[in-house]
Amino acid sequence: MKPIDNELDIKIRSLIRSCGQQAKQMAKEGLQVFQKGPGDFVTNVDQMLDRQLTAEFSTLFPDDGVITEENAPSRERFQENYSRLWCIDPLDGTDDFIHRQKDYAVMVGLLENESPIAGWIYAPESDMTYFGGKDLGLWQAIADLTPELIAIGEPKSSDEQTVIIGIKDRQNFGDAIAHRVPEIKFGFSQGSFGLKVMNVILGHAGMYVYLNGRVKIWDTVGPLALAKTAGLVCCDLDGNPISYAQDAMDLETLAHQQSIVIGWASYIEPI
Asked if residues 230 and 140 have their Cβ atoms less than 8 Å apart, the reply is no
Candidates 191, 194, 214; CA nearest to 100 is 191
pLDDT of the residue at 177? 83
- What is the gyration radius of the CA atoms in the chain, in angstroms? 18
Q: What is the pTM of this model?
A: 0.92
Residues of the chain within CATH 3.40.190.80 domain(s) are: 158-268
Architecture of domain 158-268: 3-Layer(aba) Sandwich (3.40)
Q: Which residues of the chain have pLDDT under 50?
A: none
pLDDT of the residue at 36? 67
pLDDT of the residue at 184? 79
Pairing type for strands 163-165 and 148-149 reads unpaired
DSSP-assigned beta bridge partners for residue 138: 132
Asked if residues 164 and 200 have their Cβ atoms less than 8 Å apart, the reply is yes
At CA 240, angle to CA 235 and CA 245, rounded to 5?
Answer: 90
- Nearest-angstrom CA–CA distance, 247 and 194: 24
pLDDT of the residue at 42? 62
Cα distances from 53 to residues 62, 76, 113, 133, 212, in angstroms, run 13, 18, 22, 20, 28
CATH class in words for 6-149? alpha beta
pLDDT of the residue at 38? 63
Amino acid identity, position 59:
T
Residues of the chain within CATH 3.30.540.10 domain(s) are: 6-149
